[in-house]
Structure 1
Amino acid sequence: MHVLRKAILAAACTAGLAAATTPALAQTTLRAVMHSDLKILDPIWTTAYIVRNHGYMIYDTLLAQDEKGVVQPQMVEKYETAPDNKSYTFTLRDGLLWHDGQPVTSEDCIASIKRWAIKDSLGQKMMTFVDSIAAVDAKTFTIKLKEPTGLVLLGLSKPSSNVPFMMPKRVAETDPNKQIKDFTGSGPFVFARDEWKPGDKTVYVKFDKYKPRPEPPSGLAGGKVAKLDRVEWRAISDAQQALNALSKGEIDFVEQPSHDLLGTLKKDPNVDIVASPMLKAQYVFRPNTLHKPFDNPKIRQALWYAFNQEDFLMATVGDENYIQPCKALFICDTPLATTKGMDALLTSNAKKAQELLKDAGYDGTPVVLMHSTDLKALTNLAPVAKSLMEKAGFKVDMQSMDWQTLVARRAKKDPPDAGGWNAFLTAWVTADVMNPVSTAYVNAACDKASFGWPCDAQLEKLRDDFARETDPAKQKAIAEAVQLRVIEYTPEIPLGEYVQPAAMRKNVKGFVIAPVPVFWNMEITK
């Protein structure tokens, strides 16, 4: 049976499709409910976390950060830094294979780095320091810099969206503004494309030829040992229904159980709830700077007075054990956290907001506010924003849609009355928003910036300064300057922090604590 299973998998991959074996051949299947249904499959084209999670199932990374945030080799066997810190040499591990059986090469990695760097905030900044990326041989390549920067190792080990996943050269050469159609990876699981049914399930099967590192797993680093033959992501959007299925043993894992149902879940003797500071996230409001009314920074500034964090946190999470009001742009309890400039802000001072709108000449242009309806952690954000904005004098047109529709629509630059948008709200995990370079919504590089497309030379200069600086004290000062400029320009507004636990059956063992839910090392015991 084992030989037959491998033969079926090899035949599917040779045909160019990462197809699955039949369920009857799988020895161990873990059934999971993720925070969202999977409808988009390119983790470079979008920052959506469900697509990032999909990426970690089937792709691998050159470097990774362990549980302490230390950069470790992953696909590379070793890397060397030149004495002048102006070049890096990377050597791939032996035995790395794509799911179609072809070896992973330096050319694959170079093409993947370049595609990722066009879309990612940190990658874009990293490439401004890069002079060349070139292959030495099939397993070795170099990155040469114009001047020293710490962004190379930080970028290639970036743990969350966008993650620099490695893809075959033929795939990585796809225009980064277009979605890939070939999902051949080299990670521990293979995407069973023929079983993928959006709205029902997504299936992954173990890649028998994956060669894990010898170290134990730590964060997103270490050995990615696939102990499961098959993983099924089941699409259950109703939070109560998902937890009922977990209690009955119909599913094994829930990525984001609703906070208001945790009390009942904790009483279930067959269920474990896992919470960790690594699972902390920050809510943010993202305005679109291209179109009225938020093309005017004075109008955007009124939002700092219209909002307060407590309303958003209580409406979404509601449990004080899992929330933390925090005005720091770069996450409380981390090295760059500061509340400088924030004292009078985020206090729901509607009168002050009204004054600013009047002074800015707001003419009543409606704000098209996109409202995600199917992610419990996000569902109540837009209604709270609408209420607070209307009290401040904004006219708000809240349009409801599922998260994947919102993800597709936010990439459009069209005017709001032609299918575009003015604002939406989302959440970023701690790993994504700890410094000015990796925080996507601080990127103000105009057309190269993330959806919302802020354009501010002052912010970009500060981000450059941060990228060049190695002294932690000076980095802290630059981060404070970035926060003050963010308040003036308003590319985003932080709306508080929360911890999102995961829930699983007690017979599920080996869950790795990391900023991203991963399924290697997990197993189901009897």
Structure 2
Amino acid sequence: MILSRLAALSFVAALALPIPAQAQPVPARTLRVAPHADLKTLDPVAASIVITRMHGLMIYETLFAWDAKLNPKPQMVESFSTSADGLAWTFTLRPGLKFHDGQPVTTRDVIASLKRWMVRDTIGGKLGEYTDATEVVDDKTFTLKLKRPMALVPFALGSAVGQIPVIMRESDAVTDPMKPVTEAIGSGPFRFNRAEWRSGAKVVYDRNPDYVPRAEPADGLAGGRVVKLDRVEWLIMPDPATAAAALQTGEIDIWEQPSQDLIPVIARSGDIKVDRYSSLANQVMLRPNHLYPPFNNPKARLALAYATDQADFLAGGFGDEQWWRRCNSYFICGSPNGTEAGAEAFSKPDLETARRLLAESGYKGEKLVLSSSYDIAPIGRMAEVAADSLKKVGFNVDVQFSDWGTVTTRQQNRGAPEQGGWNLFVTYASGATMQSPMTNIGTNMACEKAWAGWPCDAEAERLRGAVVDAPDDASRKLAIEILHRRLAEVQPYRVLGQFDQPYARRSNVTGVLNAPVMLFWNIEKN
């Protein structure tokens, strides 16, 4: 049945998407991938979701890039210097940077892009607080002037998490930062093939023949982005059984996020390899909307922490315990910042405490909308676990399922839940995103500048600033512990533990890099 269905889908796709024979690269130079979700939003500054970030890294570049150990290295930048007082950073772009429409990349494009990113992103917003001015020196050189020193400037400019600081054309970047850019013209190693884009079915990227990679070896996101393929196709396969069958038959080469329950099946094939592409575990979270009752009250948010057992969620979402672990650190257990200070009481559920806190919050049993999707199966399963867990302590949860694109669009809706907004959602984010107070999108509690859920706590923000201002590693570690204790009190979201996300590839595919998201340069298909 699965194979027949797959063949039928392939046949329909072939009829619906005719491509002239002369435009097709040879099969060995085309990589076919089943991604974890469909691509809906093209602008990686407007959306922090992983599929849009993957898309952004295909077609755009950033000034710096994180290597496999999350250290920033120059990418679009050829050289840079810092003034003696640490208040002026001067950057010169490397030669050969050109947008896909043929225009050269200039510092006017860079400055417009950085200003737009600083409005939207967690680490970008923090850098924006420190920035006094950005000034053009010439077409290839610009200066970033700070109000006070900030040692983490290259780390911020190389961010590969949240809304990433990609460099767009000035004409795209000067638009309203709260509205997604619909163009997809960058200067990166791949070009977005808009003509062959079929929402819900197929996304195509072609090798950019004009791209000049750096000379250094590839290392995470850093180094030479050498493309060894002519074409990458993302084939949207929301049904895990269909994706598994396609991988086994060779219709696809990579399954980016295989369903955990099917890993033992596909791993038995000698032609398929299952591996991890990131050394840091991902974090699962239950995100409340802080704008509306009951979660505008921290007691209701604390009730979430006491009502939930991480093991229930992780087993429901990811199956075998070899892939997950309990962890109450906002900044990832196993990372340099992985403290659980202040969160010790949440290691096991305490239903009586949850009920008491919920009552004290003033909640009277009103319906709460939990928005979710089975397009990403673990998220859908964990949403059902959330509903069951929260009902036990008195929450009246209504799980509303839709496609993932609709869920992520709804997450940006600040309206009341009964008017198309929401109260809760379950999601997860990469360890690279969550391991630092500078990049953790969920612990940004800067009110309207925060990520969906819009938590607001001046003390947490003051303490997050203290982490940035820390003069050395020892003082920064202490500042992170103090911040974490505050976060455990105010609960911007309920940490649900962490998991490793494997990917699966056919054995003739090599060169997948260790990075926060799957990258497609350096990959070879033999």
TM-score calculated relative to the size of structure 2: 0.94
Q: Does 1:26 align with 2:16?
A: no
Alpha-carbon offset, residue 390 of structure 1: 0.6
Contact 2:286 2:426 in 1 (8 A): yes
Check the 8 A contact 1:291/1:422 in 2, yes or no.
yes
Q: Check conservation: 1:279, 1:514, Cα contact below 8 A.
A: no
Structure 2 SS opposite 1:43: coil
- Write the mapping of 1:327-346 to structure 2, written as runs, cut at 5 A: 327-346=328-347
Name the counterpart of 1:114: 115
String of CA shifts for 1:74-110, please: whole Å, max 9, x gaps.
0111111222211111110111100011100011011
Q: Which amino acid aligns with 1:393?
A: G
Q: Which residue of 2 aligns with 1:400?
A: 401
Given the alignment of the two structures, is residue 125 of structure 1 paired with residue 126 of structure 2, yes or no? yes
- What is the CA–CA distance in structure 1 between the aligned matches of 2:206 and 2:498, rounded to whole Å? 35
AA paired with 1:311? Answer: D
Amino acid at match of 2:56: G
Equivalent in the alignment of 1:385 = 386
Unpaired segments of 5 or more residues in structure 2?
1-18
State the one-letter code of the partner of 1:185: G
- Residues 364-386 of structure 1, C-alpha deviation per residue, up to 9 Å, x if partnerless? 12211112211023121111111
Separation in structure 2 between the aligned mates of residue 219 and residue 324 of structure 1, nearest angstrom: 25
Counting only pairs closer than 5 Å after superposition, residues 173-184 of structure 1 correspond to structure 2 as: 173-184=174-185
Q: For residues 465-492 of structure 1, give each alpha carbon's deviation from its aligned partner in whole angstroms, at most 9, with x where no partner exists.
A: 1111132222122212222211222211
Name the structure 1 match of 2:7.
none
Output the CA distance in 1 between the equivalents of 2:287 and 2:347: 15
Q: Return closer, same or farther for 1:239/1:321 CA change in 2, 3 Å cut-off.
A: same
Q: Whole-Å Cα distance in 2 between the matches of residues 140 and 24 of structure 1?
A: 39
Alignment check: 8 A CA contact 2:281 2:332 kept? no
Identity %: 43
SS in 1 for 2:97: coil
What does 1:227-238 correspond to in 2, within 5 Å?
227-238=228-239
Shift of 1:196: 0.4
Deviation of 1:361 after TM superposition, in Å, equals 2.1
Distance 1:409 1:315 in 2: 24
Q: Distance in 1 between matches of 2:20 and 2:447?
A: 46
Counterpart residue identity of residue 425, structure 2: F
Q: Per the alignment, do residues 48 and 21 of structure 1 end up closer, same or farther by CA in structure 2, a change over 3 Å counting?
A: farther
3-state SS of paired residue (1:311)? helix
- Counterpart-to-counterpart distance in 2, 1:423 and 1:520: 37
Contact 2:294 2:361 in 1 (8 A): no
Alignment RMSD: 1.4
CA distance in 1, matches of 2:102, 2:48: 29
Superposition map of 1:58-137 within 5 A: 58-137=59-138
- Report deviation, 1:353: 0.6
Q: Distance in 2 between matches of 1:411 and 1:98?
A: 30
Q: How does 1:442-461 map to 2 (within 5 A)?
A: 442-461=443-462
Alignment of 1:288-367 (within 5 A): 288-367=289-368
**Structure 2: which amino acid aligns with 1:366?**
K
1:275 and 1:232 map into 2 onto residues whose CA distance is: 21
Q: Is the 8 A contact 2:277 2:518 kept in 1?
A: no
Tell me if the contact between 2:31 and 2:232 (Cα under 8 Å) persists in the aligned partners.
yes
| Partner residue in 1 for 2:250 | 249
Matches within 5 A, 1:202-281: 202-278=203-279, 280-281=281-282
Q: TM-score, normalised by structure 1?
A: 0.94
Amino acid in the other structure paired with 1:26: P
Instruction: Tell me the amino acid that sits aligned with residue 193 of structure 1.
Output: R
Count of residues paired in the alignment: 506
The Cα shift of 1:205 comes to: 0.4
- Map 1:133-172 onto structure 2 (within 5 A): 133-172=134-173
Cα offset, 1:210, TM superposition: 0.2
Task: Judge which range, 442-451 or 336-345, deviates more.
Answer: 336-345
Aligned to 1:199: 200
